[in-house]
Amino acid sequence: MALDSKQSFASQSLIELRDVHKSYKLGETLVPALRGLSLSLDRGEFVAVIGASGSGKSTLLNIIGGIDAADAGEVTINGQSWKGLSDNRRSEWRNQFFGFVFQSFNLMPMLNVHENVELPLMIQKHVSKDERRRRVESLLADVGLSAFAKQRPDKLSGGQRQRVAIARALVTEPLVVIADEPTANLDSTTTLQVVKLMQDLNAKKNITFIFSTHDEKLMAQVKRILRIKDGTLIQESQKSQFE
């Protein structure tokens, strides 16, 4: 079954990792990042990955999102494996099915807010100019930044820039948003505002959110927590509703 349409995603687990291993070379030393990690994520989940620096959080997110490849084990999206895909096909999957939010925002300084959010859609040639404008304007309204559409990133606060980054991640209408330390550069008040925004978008659009964090105070804000230590999933907890 080819992963050709978002409508093909069925009731089975959206993301599956089975006995995934990943190591990196540091000089002559092979450093293990993931050691036989397995997990399952369903569509519409809101998940935090927590653990100390170097525990494997970023590696896990990169492998789920197809930015990096596992050394061993299986990673599948609705039953379809990342394994064996060409670089071009991997890029197509990432653009079509995943949105990414980074702690450093990664906005283009020469583009205004509207243009930054629109940028991922420029790759999708089947999306018309009118549809691009509709999606961008709708998302800027969702994140409360309609009035800032013509501003450049250097005129925005950190929280505003992160909201632009979230809108950009959502503009392709992905099934999964992956966020690596999305609140690391924000103060505590802005952090809670950004997490609340992600919660609202998760509930409104049924998008799966998985993000890493060092801040265990955020545990009360998520539905499911995955705790990683030394590349291994050591604890998992799930809540029936937000607290």
In this model, does residue 212 exceed pLDDT 50? yes
Nearest by Cα to 208 from 62, 99, 54, 58: 99
**What are the start-end ranges of the E strands in the chain?**
15-26, 29-41, 46-50, 72-77, 80-81, 98-102, 176-180, 208-213, 224-229, 232-238
Residue 197 makes CB contacts below 8 A (sequence gap 6+) with: 143, 163, 166
Q: Are 82 and 66 within 8 A, CB to CB?
A: yes
List pLDDT tens digits, range 140-180. Answer: 999 999 999 999 999 999 999 999 999 999 999 899 999 98
Residue pLDDT, tens place only, 85-108: 888 888 888 888 899 998 888 999
The dihedral built from the CA positions of residue 173, 178, 184 and 189, taken in this order, carries a sign that is: positive
Which residue's structure tokens are 């099934």? 175
**Higher-confidence position of 56 and 223:** 56
Average pLDDT over residues 76-84: 84
pLDDT at residue 74, as a whole number: 94
How distant, in Å, are the alpha carbons of 38, 96, 142, 193 from that of 174?
A: 23, 6, 16, 22
Write out the two tokens for 223: 């539905």
pLDDT at 125: 82
Which 3 state secondary structure label does DSSP give 91?
Answer: helix
pTM of the model: 0.85
The residue that leads in pLDDT, 59 or 238, is: 59
Indicate the pLDDT class of residue 12, thresholds 50, 70 and 90.
Answer: low
